[in-house]
Structure 1
């Protein structure tokens, strides 16, 4: 039963993807550009987002991540930074379940947009998410430390000191594990 439902959702997702691609092609044609090209791109964004959600229901995390990335790229083309960043975050969350490295890539794109918009608290939150991916899935403590430190920096800049301290405690813990005791002590003393 569940497998049949998943297959059905995946078929619907593929149908939505091809509909989105048709709309993108139509918007980029000469006549499409003259007559409402941007509304077609907005409709294509909707199709990509719906396809991504269908892929999520089918538990096809890579398909969902790719569809959200397509939507994000179109949102950038339409100068809708907030929507693009949100779509990259959705892509990152989908990819976490299938391809942690691709999740990091998507979250970094979102962070780039959020920092450009001056949304440092949101960027910090996503640096923490990346640090957790490096901590758990990709097992790269040095990169986890770097992202926790960046998050702490952004939190401090936005006067979110308790959030900054949580990140710094993670850094201190990892520094101690790596036998970087002076660094760990320095952080604990702060």
Structure 2
């Protein structure tokens, strides 16, 4: 055991002593300073555990401090310590990290601090995205984050979260949901001279999702997208979609593959595009009569 861990244990023992055998409520009879001193001991212990990289113990100590803050009515301080706890647990126990952030979110929403709540829902989504690998839960938290951001008029942050929802919805096979979001965000982008150019990508993604469902719908969607954004017709993305639809109608798998390769040689396709295009190609192979 390191010296920092030993000091941390001593501080926790000191905190428990200050709270007394009856805990928090018993310590209130000795004056609120006893509770404040105990909180300080837990916080100092947590930081010593952090220095030793004892992440579970650090998270637990921050949680104890947060619980005491909450009981004494210091809600903002409690939320801050729950976030501190989450940051520690994140390095060792993702589920506990999520639980701590949910407690912080509950406090922030009760206080009307929806932007803070949104940011923490976003953090939870990122944990489910990269650490716990649960895309459905990631989608839920990105949606909640977007909802709170939009309520606070943080439309750029809301759209960023919604694009994540669309990305994973498509990966999970919920193409209609993905299409709705990509079209919504594209419409929003077209209202801004700074963001207008990015609409091309969102319409491209929406069209590919349409192709996963129905070729005729994809063709009708392309016509609507040109009306929405006439410049889209001159883009390489639009031309690729048109070409792919032609090859699908001709049931020409090789030409489909070549068209994708040619596009990729100039504009690299990321993992999402590759996944969706492979699904469309597989659907063509398994269902040759798509017309």
Which bracket does the TM-score occupy, shorter chain normalised?
Answer: over 0.9
How big is each residue's C-alpha offset from its partner over 1:93-124, in whole Å with a ceiling of 9 and x where there is no partner? 10000100000000000000000000000000
SS at match of 2:2: helix
How big is each residue's C-alpha offset from its partner over 1:121-140, in whole Å with a ceiling of 9 and x where there is no partner? 00000000100111111111
Find the partner of 1:43 among 31, 37, 44.
37
> Aligned-pair RMSD on alpha carbons?
1.7
5+ unaligned residues in a row in structure 1: which ranges?
A: 1-5
Deviation at 1:27, TM superposition (A): 7.8
Find the partner of 1:13 among 8, 11, 14.
8
How big is each residue's C-alpha offset from its partner over 1:14-39, in whole Å with a ceiling of 9 and x where there is no partner? 11111111111178599854441x11
Cα 1:176–1:95 change in 2 (3 A) is same
Structure 2: how far apart are the matches of 1:170 and 1:94? 25
Runs of 4+ in structure 1 over 6 Å off: none
**Structure with bigger gyration radius:** 2
Find the partner of 1:160 among 138, 154, 157.
154
Equivalent residue for 1:187? 181
Structure 1: how far apart are the matches of 2:24 and 2:129? 46
Query: Relative contact order (alpha carbons < 8 A, sep ≥ 6): 1 or 2 greater?
Result: 1
**TM-score scaled by length of structure 2:** 0.61
1:22 matches 2:17: yes
CA contact (8 A) 1:26 1:40 kept: no
Equivalent residue for 2:130? 136
CA contact (8 A) 1:27 1:33 kept: no
Equivalent residue for 2:111? 117
